[in-house]
Amino acid sequence: MSQTFINESQKYGAYNRQPKNVNNLYQNKFTFSITKLPEASYHCQSINVPDISGENWKQVTSLNPIPRSGLNMTFGELQFSFLVDEDMHNYFEIANWMRWMYMVKNSKEYSKVKLEDLQPGPDGGLVSDAQLIILTNQSVPNIVYYFRDSFPVYLGELQFSNDISEPEPQIATARFVYTYYDFDYLVKKDKIDDSQ
């Protein structure tokens, strides 16, 4: 039996086609934080891992065009919901951040942010890095998503009503855009050798 066959068998054999982890991923196993939003992050109720999509171009041939990759990648919006505290501190964290960005009344609000703080980065004036940590089913930090230079583009409404018998806590929704996101394991994992 040739050495090549043995190597191929080890690499593509039935053992290596088995899943490395059979534990399920659960919806409630996560923590989330944004540098600029300590209170809203603390009260986070739900969050998404945004979608990603890639543009492609068509290579013209004498037959059907051939799709090719290599153009820009698009990242979906980061959306999270949080419980609003009765003083609305965590709600105002986001509302004030947006007011600084969009100059609601006049340019004085925007000028409160120092010019040198407007640069991208984790502590920049108008942007902030965010982290989503996915936990194992035993609540051990496992995977981290880094959202670079994020800022809010939407803060949802709050509905008040006297026409309810059992009041429930207010939950607000915010949406963020960002430059891109990275992800990585927090603990060392066995990785497939794709160097060959």
| 61 belongs to a structural domain | no
pLDDT of res. 143: 95
| 6 belongs to a structural domain | no
| 140 belongs to a structural domain | yes
Domain that holds residue 172: 23-48+77-185
Higher pLDDT, 103 or 120: 103
pLDDT of res. 109: 60
| 18 belongs to a structural domain | no
Average pLDDT over residues 30-58: 90
Rounded to 10 degrees, the C-alpha dihedral 170/49/147/125 comes to -20
Which phi and psi angles does 8 have, rounded to 5°?
-65, -40
- Band (pLDDT 50/70/90 cuts) for residue 54 is confident
Locate 142 and state its tokens.
Answer: 């496992």
Closest CA to 80 of 111, 46, 119, 37: 46
What pTM was estimated for this model as a whole? 0.76
pLDDT of res. 70: 77
pLDDT digits over 134-170, tens only? 999 899 999 999 999 899 999 999 999 998 888 899 9
pLDDT of res. 180: 93
- Band (pLDDT 50/70/90 cuts) for residue 110 is low
CATH number, domain at 100? 2.30.110
Task: Count up the domains in the chain and report the number.
Answer: 1
3-state secondary structure of 144: strand
Report whether pLDDT(84) > 60.
yes
Longest dimension (CA), the chain: 80
- Band (pLDDT 50/70/90 cuts) for residue 195 is very low
| 15 belongs to a structural domain | no
